[in-house]
Amino acid sequence: MKNKLKCILLVDDDEPTNFINEIIIKRTECTENVVAVQSGFAAIDYLIGVEEGKNLQPDLIFLDINMPAMNGWEFLEEYRKLPEHQKVKNIIIMLTTSLNPDDDAKARTFEEICRYESKPLTADKIQNIINLYCYPSE
């Protein structure tokens, strides 16, 4: 891949899913860094840390819907409260096992969500997402 993203953020409460997704992303060689967090709260804390200079700004976020404490929808509500400069580069992909058509419809109501994808994450899905949203002219 010609251009590499600086950072991809995985937000999923399932540690094995994060582990597998991290391996798949690294194999595509599409990014310099992959960061996995296991809750919406941790993702918000991570993004706050970007402003403080502690964390890398993610170019792409893969967000799970069903997580305890703060689910994907609740994360998005908190994400909306962040300062605009923390969100500028973020492309959010809702990555889920949900087969509920209401979730797909709800995802369309959030302008922050670029795409609704079903799990599992694959190299082809990653490449398509990057080509479509990160480097559309290539």
Question: How many angstroms separate the CA atoms of 6 and 119, rounded?
Answer: 23
Q: Does the residue 135 lie in any domain? A: no
Q: Does the residue 79 lie in any domain? A: yes
Q: Does the residue 91 lie in any domain? A: yes
Q: Does the residue 3 lie in any domain? A: no
Q: Which amino acid is at 3?
A: N
Query: Model confidence over 24-62: pLDDT tens digits?
Result: 999 999 999 999 999 999 999 999 998 888 999 999 999
Domain count, the chain: 1
Distance of CA 60 to the CA centre of its chain: 5
Q: Does the residue 11 lie in any domain? A: no
Q: Does the residue 5 lie in any domain? A: no
Q: What is the pTM of this model?
A: 0.93
Q: Does the residue 106 lie in any domain? A: no
Q: Which domain holds residue 82?
A: 30-100+111-121
Q: Which amino acid is at 113?
A: I
Q: What is the per-residue pLDDT for 98?
A: 85
Q: Does the residue 12 lie in any domain? A: no
Here the CATH number for the domain that contains residue 41 is: 3.40.50.2300
